[in-house]
A and B are shown apart, each in its own frame.
Chain A
Amino acid sequence: MSKRVILHVGTPKTGTSYLQDVLFRNRRVLAGAGIHYPADRFDGHFLAALDLMRLPWGGLEAEAVGAWDRLAAQVRGHDGTSIVSHEILATASRSQAGRALTSLGHGDGTEVHLVLSVRDLVRQIPAEWQENVKHRSTITYGAFLDQIKDPRRESRIATWFWGVQELPDILNRWGHDLPPEHIHLVTVPPAGGAQQLLWKRFSIAFGLDGIDLDLEAERANPSLGAPETALVRRINRAANQQLAPSDYRPLVRELLAHQTLSRRGRSPRLALPPEAHPWVGEITASWITEIERRGYDVVGDLSDLVGAPPVLKYADPDHPNERQVSGAAVDAITALLLEGARLRQSEERLQRELHDTQVALERSYLRPTYRWREKLVRRLQSGRLGRGALKAYRRARGRSSRPA
């Protein structure tokens, strides 16, 4: 039974990919310090979250069957501190959260600490729209904003957005059974601050200070500029019907968005429209008041949630600068050409190998003994008596070489 479980449930776009990458790659070092990060693969906790919430995810859910129970069993089987981390857990319902906490040992002697990393809505709103676009959505930024502003919150976009972003509600669902001192909010510092400040805060919240971890990131979820996101949305509109999810992920999300378009750092960044700032400011103020009232442990500063003031020159991704979109499109075509060329070379190499194998196989068939045997079988098959003899031989030999 774990003595202590650190359960990190979100929110998305708060440096979680980096954190999980560091935890995954440093499993052995952490184990040496008595901290268990139970994962056989990088996305192990993501699959467990899908399983817990019965959440389909473009076919990936087939790999998630039973994943939460396995993860919970590994946590319960460790006598020390265990860490569980995935940002989509933020959207779990109260009963799913209750089931998760119980399965991790809450109420049975285990001390569960809930960690929620949080970032200002000024950055989270455009980031969430961009995530939607990188997951095949064709919704415009304007329509996305309209949906999340609608107080009824009936659309799938709105329920998901507020499910993973509305801090007091997430903490209600996950934390209402936990003492406030066991609930830790890690605030993401404003843009342009010290590079390692967020990691420092994570390190304090997770109790990783003093452990010599390799902090070189291999995985991250880089963001796109406004024209690049507009381009991916147009690609979705054109290709969604033909492109299967299993092809979309490596080609659009990874190759185009993450490896190519995210490198165009000079294009205007996605931002919150200036007219949305008063609305966001009002929500944020009510959240800060509520969080202060509840008395949680804050690692960082709640004023980080206020966010930056409106940008002076707003780039609307629904009406992008077409020159910039063309530039992004040329980069995208170049990347796809290079990938196409790589695949052609790979195909040619495989064809050469296949040809060599076929030649070697034919050479072995051309040995005189093989030809004699083949001739004999043909002759036997042409007559009734021969077929009977062949059948008897095959039965005596104990296996059939007849065609299926």
Chain B
Amino acid sequence: MTPGPEDTPGVRRAWGWVAHLLSGGTTPWRVWTDEGRPGGRVLPGAQQLELLRRLNLVGGVTPELATRVLEASAPGRGRPDLELEGSVDRLAFGPPPVDPGDLPDDELLRVATSLIADDVVAAGLPEPRRVGTTRPWRTRYRLVGDPLLADPRRADLIARGRPPGGRGSVILVLGTDLGSMLVHAWTARSLAEGAPAWRDWFDSLARSRTVPARADLPRVARFWTDRVGIDRVRIVLEPALVPRLVGVRRPLATAPDLSADAVDLSRRVGQVLGLLAEPARRRALLHQTLAPHLATHHGPGLGVPPEHAAWVHARAERMRDGLLRAGYAVHGDPDSLLPVDHVGASEPSDAGVLALALRLLLEKPLEKGK
């Protein structure tokens, strides 16, 4: 941050800390005293230096990764690269210098997500799965409803030579308890076009008392009833029944099981990927490269925030009653639409997301999706 020619005890102390961190050191800035010689054109920002220190605390930082961290810029809107408090005098202009130990995790995450996005782009997409020969005698179906239940199963069926649609298709509207469907809707959006933070998104739903289109099973069922008639629309609340309903024996692929922190990290990385890949490729990179990798890092899943449990329950009851009243065939227990007690996180935590981001950076090279 400070122009090269400047040579003061504070700047020399900062360069000493940079060298310490580059050699794997973990001493916080506030207790660092040794001086060093300039090791570059400008001093890196406080966010980059603190991120490197946190990585060193976990261990296994390669020289290449250390250099990438110090050269990275935080993407998007937010605080600029900051000076180290004590390395330079407070000027009449520019953002105030900081003790990097005081920076919130969110600031470090901005830099980390940019690096992870680069890794995801560099890893690329896995080889496309070979699509089997289309089976003419297949059961005609369409899978709609909850995106995390329907989309991976549909993709698996397509790969097995059983594409959806065709004359007389039965419409299978997939769902589960409404709390999980809301989590699925936010997850699907985070892994696609992008979503606000979980709390912001959920608070907005709660204010308008609406549910996302694909989690609104009566609406989805009504849409298809208008097109094909009620006899061909089935509500499936037990996903294990889907293989039998579409005429296959082997179980179908399911979505990777992501922790609350993993979904939030995907969401944040997705924001940066929006500037590195076209929308379709960004979505594919998130689904096929990042998500399978994050699924290997276990953690508590996401659940409905307790203060919103009452309206979600009431909405689920309305949904159940509406479907039964309309006379749809239901596979599974209609009461399974009601939210279940969830043991997990009511929201992702910045500290958890940062810890996950650090692990991901240290596990480089990121493997292509499985």
Contacts and interface: CB of A to CB of B under 8 A. Distances in A.
B79 A56 contact: no
B108 to A, nearest CB: 15
Interface stretch (A47-55, A180-188, A194-202, A362-370): A47-55
Given A169-B94, A286-B92, A55 B76 contact: yes
Contacts of B59: none
Given A151-B96, A403-B167, A55 B73 contact: no
Contact of B81 (A65, A93, A176): A93
Interface stretch (A136-144, A159-167, A295-303): A159-167
Interface stretch (A94-102, A111-119, A343-351): A94-102
A56 B114 CA distance: 13
B76 A94 contact: no
Interface residues of A, number: 40
Interface in B269-285: 271-272, 274-279
A382 interface: no
A152 interface: yes
Given A53-B76, A98-B42, A159-B78, 20 more contacts: A53-B73, A55-B75, A56-B76, A56-B275, A61-B275, A64-B275, A65-B277, A65-B278, A93-B81, A94-B1, A156-B77, A159-B80, A160-B77, A167-B93, A168-B92, A168-B94, A169-B95, A241-B204, A241-B208, A403-B167
B72 A176 contact: no
Contacts of B73: 53-54, 93, 95-96
A56 B271 contact: yes
Given A54-B75, A93-B74, A96-B73, A290 B278 contact: no
Interface in A348-404: 403-404
Interface of B: 1, 3, 41-42, 45, 71-81, 91-96, 114, 165-167, 193-194, 204, 207-208, 271-272, 274-279
A326 interface: no
A62 interface: yes
A287 interface: yes
A334 interface: no
23 contacts: A50-B275, A53-B75, A55-B75, A55-B77, A56-B76, A56-B194, A56-B271, A62-B279, A65-B275, A65-B278, A95-B42, A95-B71, A95-B72, A156-B78, A159-B79, A159-B80, A162-B95, A166-B93, A168-B93, A168-B94, A286-B92, A290-B92, A404-B165
A287 B93 contact: yes
A302 to B, nearest CB: 15
A286 B278 contact: no
A197 B100 CA distance: 46
A43 interface: no
Contacts of B41: 98, 177
A132 to B, nearest CB: 12
A55 B74 CA distance: 10
Contacts of B208: 241
Nearest to A151: B96
A153 B3 CA distance: 22
B111 to A, nearest CB: 11
A286 B208 CA distance: 49
A79 interface: no
B166 to A, nearest CB: 7
Interface string A25-65: 00000000000000000000000001101111001011011
A59 B80 CA distance: 22
A95 B40 CA distance: 12
Nearest to A167: B93
Given A93-B81, A159-B79, A404-B165, A62 B45 contact: no
Contacts of B95: 153, 159, 162, 169
Contacts of B79: 153-154, 159
Contacts of A287: 93
Contacts of A94: 1, 42, 45, 81
A259 interface: no
B317 to A, nearest CB: 25
B207 to A, nearest CB: 8
A39 to B, nearest CB: 19
